[in-house]
Structure 1
């Protein structure tokens, strides 16, 4: 009877919290929830929507949170966000890169049209990563890692992200996913095994150098090469085994020679504007194009 009274009191306390106060509590976790949803679905735009859906679901269910008293507020929000992401993936499927949907392109062939039907993997703005999270999140927000985990079954992906990125224990992850500890451990083991097949085998090959000066220098040389239309200089910046993708076109080049020839043959005609930036905790260059006779620049690539 005493436990029931305490649960009822907690429930009433949460029900008495106004939406402004509740929103303030939620905002403390928004950045990490957005990164969590992005890893789960591979879309920055949809991760924003899923965080809003998480807030709406949490607000409606606030009395149950206090009544049950099973989780911390953070864990409870992760449970709601993860379920929202699993619902999304069940409806929409995974996000992909051109390498996932088309064979390597012939650099002397024609450029395929833009494919609006394909759900392409999207970049994630660095400005939305909390400074204290950047060092921890770096590898697991890089575009190559996010692309790799999109190939995992959704429940395996959830187990991996909750355990290895969000830092929940096996018991906590099992409770959040509504399953058993052995099931979570099994899903995590299979997920890690599949990732080893897709990511570099040597860890030092996967992690990038931390020197911002090195990164800025590469970005500067990349911009200069494109502005000069110097395709040899552009090719000198990438590895022999480069895979270069061009979403939203189902187009990618396999290897340095194909990249160099294809870039030169199919370079966009017009005036380019290149702006350095960062996405997925990596250097990025936003490329805009003003075609012949056009008054304004339009986005071309990132």
Structure 2
């Protein structure tokens, strides 16, 4: 039971940054914008969050700094794809490359620095319960924030007027514009929300998951978050399942190495990414329409004058 509890705790920790990034990207893509710059936003959130936490001694300020770093990167992306109607795929890829380079510059003075991980919550009696205490009532605050965001996004998209407008913009931006909705404003807010979530995910990596900074520490998690959005069929509730599936695979391969299975370590390390490819291939074989993307996804909006 203790081993199972330890594995479950590490799965929750590994899945949380994926869930945060995926929830933000669900909102962005439901507005009709394809943002491939999630990796760049995450790595900037990780570098900036860790730097601010070291300089101020406050994990809370580090988390806030990571959030705003992600938003700043998303604002740059929005300027390209909304202001200049640039190609969304090329802009997202450029943002990822830019983020990887800039994060190395920001984080260079802090390579090798260490700090204590963010404190976990402690509820008297509840956190001391066998098994359920640490798993349910003893997580760090960002775990609960990730679940709260997933629930809020699911409710807002599915049951509110704001969610209906968001979906309308993603399905047919010209019709939404004709009905009087400000398409660019809706997409700008969605992009900023996605950037904030990606920045939070990056800050989680450097302040909780592995409380230190190293260049490239996101290790492709931004791309996995993009795959989770497709796996979830652009639904926030399913994104929770996808994040924990991929987080579980990444952790189980580490435990498999620890148990001394006769499988090369390189093959086990590639397992999360192999799972991503398999899942995307399986989704492509589903009947047409069963996991349909927003109709205007990736299409620039140019209002008629």
Q: Compare CA radii of gyration and give the structure with the larger one.
A: 1
Q: Which has the higher strand share?
A: 1
Greater share of residues in helix: 2
Q: With a CA cutoff of 8 Å and minimum separation of 6, indicate the structure with the bigger relative contact order.
A: 2
TM-score, length-scaled by structure 2: 0.25
